[in-house]
């Protein structure tokens, strides 16, 4: 019976008339509504097996599949989405002693891009990364015994794999699995963050009649070729259970970009971080900074990674090894994630998150230069 149902489903999505998808594929914009249910995947949470959440996601979807920008064609991008999210985190419990503290309510704004991996008849398999901000009602100050959420304002990161199935000229149904993360990137600590896997079902509806693809030159301001790059800036990390006192860092990077195409570049370079406050074991509580604790004012490493360029926006990821880092936990490796916005081909602003394992160290904000 299961085999018959599966074969019947494949027959449906591969033979569904192409005319039913024409409206959604060519419509300039659409709206989506999804209901979500998720479970806790924090491995160090003793309540993990019984924790869950549920919520809603409303989004406005702008069709970019007919854009003349080459990055859209290279990564097979279909939509840019701007949405509002709500998650009930009260069933997500953090137990301290004999008390189970609820996670509260999370209200967020999320930007996403749909990348089509596969098309089977009218059905589409999509990968959708997203980034946004969320307000969470409960944190370490409203619930002083907890350590999961350090502040009301938090970064929201998502990665979704979905199947979009048309059911009419204007409408499609969506089933998806999603990785969801909330934390404040170490601005206020403790900040263990929430990590969840969610499933969702939803409906997407076109808002207007099909339109022809717009004509016009590609808008692409970046250097088309190999380039040298430097960035520098400053950032901060929270002091333990303090709202306003911070540990400040300054950071810099110098490296080289290897041009592949207008969407993807490989890169390698060196990161340098200067500590305005070093770790002093004799002043442990005043100076301890978890995996970011350093006995020297300088830490230095080399890293390699890649850029994904989407118009003026560039998303960056690198993985590196420390050449010099006298630290309390003997950390040897680090991660770098960054977002850049370029005003000209050579000048932009950047926000770069430094991590050790899955623990955020600090976020660096500053300028980026390319030649």
For 174-212, give one letter per residue: b (16+ CB within 10 A) or e.
bebebbbbbbbbbbbbbbbbbbbebebebebbbeeeeee
HEC string of the chain?
CHHHHHHHHHHHHHHCCCHHHHHHHHECEEEEEEEEEEEECCCCCCCHHHCEEEEEEEEEEEECCCCCCHHHHHHCEEEEEEEEEEEECCCCEEEECCEEEECCEEEEEEEEEEEEEEEECCEEEEEEEEEEEEEECCCCCCCCCCCCCCCCEEEEEEEEEEEEEECCCCEEEEEEEEEEEEECCCCCECCCCEEEEEEEEEEEEECCCECCCCCCCCCCCCCCCCEEEEEEEEEEEECECCCCCEEEEEEEEEEEEEECCCCEEEEEEEEEEEECCCCCHHHHHHHCCHHHCECCCEEEEEEEEEEEEECCEEEEEEEEEEEECCECCCCCEEEEEEEEEECCCCEEEEEEEEEECCEEEEEEEEEEEEC
Q: What is the pLDDT of residue 6?
A: 45
For 344-369, give one letter per residue: b (16+ CB within 10 A) or e.
eeeebebbbbbbbeebbbbbbebebe
How far is residue 250's CA from residue 275's CA, in Å, rounded to a whole number? 7
Comparing CA positions, the residue from 187, 194, 191 lying closest to residue 158 is 194
311-320 pLDDT, tens per residue?
Answer: 999 999 999 9
What is the pLDDT averaged over residues 131-150? 96
Decide if pLDDT at 215 tops 80.
no
Percent of the chain at pLDDT > 90 equals 79
Decide if pLDDT at 326 tops 50.
yes
Residue 3: pLDDT band (50, 70, 90) is low
Comparing CA positions, the residue from 107, 109, 94, 197 lying closest to residue 149 is 94
Residue 227: pLDDT band (50, 70, 90) is very high
Q: What is the pLDDT of residue 10?
A: 45
Are residues 33 and 81 in contact, defined by beta-carbon separation less than 8 angstroms? no
Decide if pLDDT at 106 tops 80.
yes
Residue 19: pLDDT band (50, 70, 90) is very low
Decide if pLDDT at 24 tops 60.
yes
Are residues 202 and 184 in contact, defined by beta-carbon separation less than 8 angstroms? no
Mean pLDDT of the chain: 91
Q: What is the pLDDT of residue 132?
A: 97
Please count the other Cβ atoms lying within 10 Å of the Cβ belonging to residue 165.
Answer: 19
- Most confident listed range (2-11, 132-141, 208-217): 132-141
User: Residues near 77 by Cβ (< 8 Å), separated by ≥ 6?
Assistant: 64, 65, 67, 71, 113, 114, 115, 116, 310
Decide if pLDDT at 17 tops 50.
no
CA distances from 294 to 23, 190, 255, 316 (A): 58, 18, 24, 25
What is the pLDDT averaged over residues 255-278? 97
Decide if pLDDT at 133 tops 60.
yes
Residue 7: pLDDT band (50, 70, 90) is very low
């Amino acid at each position: 019976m299961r085999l018959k149902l599966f074969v019947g489903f494949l027959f449906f999505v591969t033979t569904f008339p192409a005319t039913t998808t024409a409206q959604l594929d060519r419509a300039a914009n659409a709206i989506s509504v999804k209901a979500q249910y998720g479970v806790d995947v924090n491995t160090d949470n003793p309540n993990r097996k019984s924790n869950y959440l549920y919520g809603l996601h409303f989004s406005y979807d702008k069709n970019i599949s007919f854009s003349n920008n080459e990055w859209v064609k290279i990564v097979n991008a279909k939509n840019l989405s701007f949405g509002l999210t709500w998650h009930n985190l009260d069933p997500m419990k953090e137990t301290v002693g004999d008390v189970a503290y609820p996670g509260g309510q999370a209200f967020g704004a999320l930007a996403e891009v749909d990348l089509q991996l596969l098309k089977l008849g009218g059905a589409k398999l999509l990968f959708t990364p997203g980034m946004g901000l969320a307000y969470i009602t409960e944190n370490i100050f409203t619930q002083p015994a907890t350590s999961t959420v350090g502040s009301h304002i938090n970064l929201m990161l998502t990665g979704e794999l979905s199947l979009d199935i048309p059911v009419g000229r204007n409408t499609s149904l969506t089933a998806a699995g999603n990785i969801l993360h909330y934390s404040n990137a170490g601005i206020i600590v403790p900040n263990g963050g929430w990590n969840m896997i969610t499933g969702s079902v939803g409906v997407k509806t076109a808002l207007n009649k099909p339109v022809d693809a717009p004509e016009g030159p590609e808008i692409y301001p970046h250097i088309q070729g190999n380039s040298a790059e430097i960035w520098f800036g400053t950032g901060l990390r929270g002091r333990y259970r303090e709202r306003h006192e911070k540990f400040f860092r300054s950071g810099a990077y110098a490296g080289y970009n290897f041009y592949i195409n207008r969407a993807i570049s490989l890169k390698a370079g060196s990161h340098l971080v200067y500590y305005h406050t070093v770790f002093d074991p004799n002043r442990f509580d005043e100076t301890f900074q978890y995996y970011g604790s350093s006995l020297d004012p300088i830490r230095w490493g080399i890293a390699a990674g890649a850029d994904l360029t989407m118009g003026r926006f560039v998303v960056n990821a690198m993985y590196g090894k420390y050449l010099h880092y006298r630290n309390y936990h003997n950390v040897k490796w680090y991660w770098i994630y960054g977002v850049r916005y370029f005003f000209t081909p050579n000048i932009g602003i950047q926000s770069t998150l430094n991590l050790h394992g899955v623990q955020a160290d600090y976020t660096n904000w500053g300028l980026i230069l390319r030649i």
